[in-house]
Chain A
Amino acid sequence: MKPVDVVIVGSGVVGSIMAMELANAGLQVVCLERGRMVDLQTEFAKPFVYDELKFDRHSDIFQNLSRETITFRNNASQTALPMRELGSFKPGEMVGGTAAHWGGNARRFLPHDFELRSKITERYGEAFSPKDSTIQDWGVTWDEIEPYYDQFENIYGVGGKAGNLEGEIQPGGNPHEGPRSREFPNPPTRRTPHGEIFAKAASELGYVPFQGPAAAMTRDYKNLYKVMMLECHRGGFCSSHVCAQGAKANPLSAVLPALYKQKTFELRALCNVIKVNTDSTGKQATGVTYIDARGREIEQPAGIVVLASYCFNNTRLLLLSGIGKPYDPQTGRGVVGRNYSYQTGGRVHVFFDDREFNPFIGGGQVNTSIDELNGDVIDRANLGFVGGAYVNCTNPGASPIKSKHVPHGTPRWGAEWKKAVAHNYRRTLGIHVHGSCMSYRDRYLDLDPTYKDANGLPLLRMTFDFHDNEVKMLKWVQEKCIEIAKAMQPASYHAAAIRAKYSIVPYQSTHNVGGAVMGTDPATSVVNKYLQSWDVPNLFVVGGSAFPQNAAQGPTATIGALACWSADAIKESYLKRPGPMM
């Protein structure tokens, strides 16, 4: 293959934005995507897109595990076994990547999240962080990343109300958010009857409810790349689905239409990258090797290589390519695969006898939130845990297979179950807990010694479980949510049991992070603050893989902001002086 300036692995939220920014700068960019090409107008057309069974249960836009999966165990004393069916999370596999079917939850992290280790130590002392935790600062600070959150929000048309404009607290927004340089590009979502009940109860208890930022259009909107997206119709079928209306911003609706017009851009679908190639010194990437649609092994030389795939694949490609020192949990040394983390969650379901809702109307991430139980908003001196959660009441559009909640004690099936389902489907609301997850010495990713993918390459192995810190945090947040539930004066409520042990079976979130984390020290990070490999300066590893630990908010806006930030560093700094950026 003819050499190009930049080869990008993956066409999801990171790959599409970085391709756009670098092609805009005049670089010749090739993007390699393992999944297939899609046509929004036909594959996700009305009414076929409103198919819960197809998209949520049997989706052919999620990763095809028959070719590649991961293996999983709770701890290193167990034998990891393959994740044979999807459950806990749903990585994507098509042009547009995982972000194609995200829910549109476009929240920023808190300023404190980027300097977690320093801020916790500063306020509570070194000994306060959980034992064996490997939490660390990101290397990038709020003030540095804020303009790139703004850029991402103007690409993804995020709707919301600022709560803090350049340090001035604004009514109607989240008073705890970091100072933002300007208002959201689109207005906030309207508040649903569910949201009203939650907001009233939360306000009575002293919380400050606001409409959570959402990347489904709250009006017809032309974005930074001059791509038009239409106002959301609130028909549900968002997460796991691709929007028929094109109202949910994702790589397919917000970026690729503009990118396809770039003369210096080429997208090659059905091309699965298996290795990043380096020269004899091992300090310079020469390009990548991929297997194309016809099964041919092809080398694509490039001046710059960007790994822009899901957290698992970014980490796995580094391990398969022998770039960076693999993490060793025994010694704590090595970096690739270190600090894998996830997110934690909980729910309190509230049941009413005297109210009836329209739970199927919603979607586009309509939610009413509070942020008082999150980050450094909490004074944790007497609580004994790090991290926190944001809490919200959402209207995702209650789809009939998976959204039937019944009061505690209802049998799982039979006549009583049927009666409870019929009574409660339209008389319930959920208070949802979205919690952070720290990283720990014994939670990591490496290559599996036994199981292989369809190409004969080792699968990635996940060793992960929750630690006491997370369970303690969730219990505290859940107590607060029960207080909110009681303030609603419902017929009954039910707090879902908090799992002490992580299971790969029930869906939790597609918010897997870490494995190739960013930082300020090559001994504890794979990439520097610009997402540039410490070992191979013309290799950038961008995505959820870079999070040193996970905050409470959904990761996508932060992943998008990192893509904008890294692309800018390449354009403004790296291209002028190729080599390690300081």
Chain B
Amino acid sequence: MTHAYRYLTEPEVRFIDAAVSRLIPADDLGPGAKEADVTYYIDGQLAGTWGVHGRQYRSGPWLDGTPEQGFQSRFTPQEIYRIAIREINTYCLATHENPFEQLPVEKQDHLLKALEKDQAELPSLSSKLFFDLLWRNTEEGFFADPMYGGNRGKAGWTLLGFPGVPSGAYREHLDNSEPYNAVPVSILDVQRGDAQVDAEGFVKHVMLKREGGK
């Protein structure tokens, strides 16, 4: 392991690495979620305020409610990840004699789709509840600033052509239809002194030559 994980256990890291590799796979467009350290990002989120739903209303009574009434689980995200991964792996071992990460990718995709559609019966919680959190966190980890541990090498931003922290040149470019292509700059880059900043505090982008985008 390349990181010290604060909340996730080793089997959980292996599960998430495998799952996020299917959600955003590595391919000829660039790194996937696993390579972008999304698992490490998720660990940071679970270990922080959000992992215990620190700013969410957490008093009972706890009722299921309708989909329109939103999140009503008594479990925190920490608990949802822990419980769901254990129960999914128990299912994988019972039916396929292997934990999730050792299944062929077709089986992994099939299972992820079942989780997403709430068609996988987990004993303690809705599989969709877990899948939706996992997908939301995967997207965040792939596209949030690298200061949160994911989006390694700005893989997500490079995929989009998003330059990150804005430059002081944007105002002049507002009504210009020329594609603006720059090496992405993160908050982390600025903090580390790896990016140049002008007198007003805007970053100075290094422009890329690109043939009409990707």
- Encode contact with A along B163-198: 1 for CB under 8 Å, 0 otherwise: 111111011011111011000000100110000010
Q: Is A58 part of the binding interface, using a Cβ–Cβ cutoff of 8 Å?
A: yes
Most chain A CB inside 10 Å of its own CB: which residue of B161, B179, B190, B212: B161
Q: Contacts of A398 on B, CB cut-off 8 Å?
A: 162
Shortest beta-carbon distance from B31 to chain A in Å: 10
Shortest beta-carbon distance from A413 to chain B in Å: 5
CA distance A85 to B63 in the complex (A): 15
Q: Is B68 part of the binding interface, using a Cβ–Cβ cutoff of 8 Å?
A: yes
By beta carbon, the residue of chain B nearest A69 is B57
Most chain A CB inside 10 Å of its own CB: which residue of B145, B174, B201, B213: B174
Q: Is A73 part of the binding interface, using a Cβ–Cβ cutoff of 8 Å?
A: yes
Shortest beta-carbon distance from B154 to chain A in Å: 10
Q: Is A244 part of the binding interface, using a Cβ–Cβ cutoff of 8 Å?
A: yes
Q: Known: A81-B65, A81-B69. Is A50-B201 also a contact (CB below 8 A)?
A: no
By beta carbon, the residue of chain A nearest B72 is A81
Q: Is B29 part of the binding interface, using a Cβ–Cβ cutoff of 8 Å?
A: yes
Q: Contacts of A237 on B, CB cut-off 8 Å?
A: 166
Quick check: A418 and B69 within 8 Å, CB to CB? Answer: no
Quick check: B63 and A401 within 8 Å, CB to CB? Answer: no
> Please, how many residues of chain B have a CB less than 8 angstroms from a CB on the other chain?
70
CA distance A423 to B160 in the complex (A): 8
Q: Contacts of B72 on A, CB cut-off 8 Å?
A: 81, 84
CA distance A419 to B25 in the complex (A): 10
Q: Which of B29, B138, B145, B165 is the one whose CB lies under 8 Å from A422?
A: B29
CA distance A45 to B191 in the complex (A): 12
Q: Is B123 part of the binding interface, using a Cβ–Cβ cutoff of 8 Å?
A: no
Quick check: A362 and B201 within 8 Å, CB to CB? Answer: no
By size class, the interface of chain A is 35 or more
Quick check: B55 and A58 within 8 Å, CB to CB? Answer: yes
Interface residues of chain B, those whose CB is within 8 Å of chain A, are 22-25, 27, 29, 32, 49-50, 53-59, 61, 63, 65-72, 109, 112, 116, 135, 138-140, 143-145, 147-148, 156-157, 159-168, 170-171, 173-177, 179-180, 187, 190-191, 197, 200-203, 212-214
Quick check: A53 and B214 within 8 Å, CB to CB? Answer: no
CA distance A443 to B39 in the complex (A): 44
Interface residues of chain A, those whose CB is within 8 Å of chain B, are 45-48, 50-53, 57-58, 60, 64-66, 69, 72-74, 78-79, 81-85, 87, 190-193, 196, 231-237, 244, 356-358, 360-362, 366, 395, 397-398, 400-401, 404, 412-415, 417-419, 421-423, 425-427, 450-452, 501-505
CA distance A285 to B140 in the complex (A): 49
Q: Known: A84-B72, A426-B161, A451-B59. Is A234-B170 also a contact (CB below 8 A)?
A: yes
Shortest beta-carbon distance from B176 to chain A in Å: 8
Q: Contacts of A79 on B, CB cut-off 8 Å?
A: 63, 65
Quick check: B144 and A504 within 8 Å, CB to CB? Answer: no
CA distance A400 to B154 in the complex (A): 11
Q: Which of B57, B71, B143, B165 is the one whose CB lies under 8 Å from A50?
A: B165
Q: Contacts of B201 on A, CB cut-off 8 Å?
A: 45-47, 244
By beta carbon, the residue of chain B nearest A401 is B143
Q: Which of B58, B67, B69, B213 is the one whose CB lies under 8 Å from A356?
A: B213
Q: Contacts of A190 on B, CB cut-off 8 Å?
A: 174-175
Q: Which of A47, A66, A452, A505 is the one whose CB lies under 8 Å from B165?
A: A47
CA distance A505 to B129 in the complex (A): 13
Which 3 pairs show the lowest CB-CB distances between chains A and B?
A235-B166, A46-B201, A400-B143
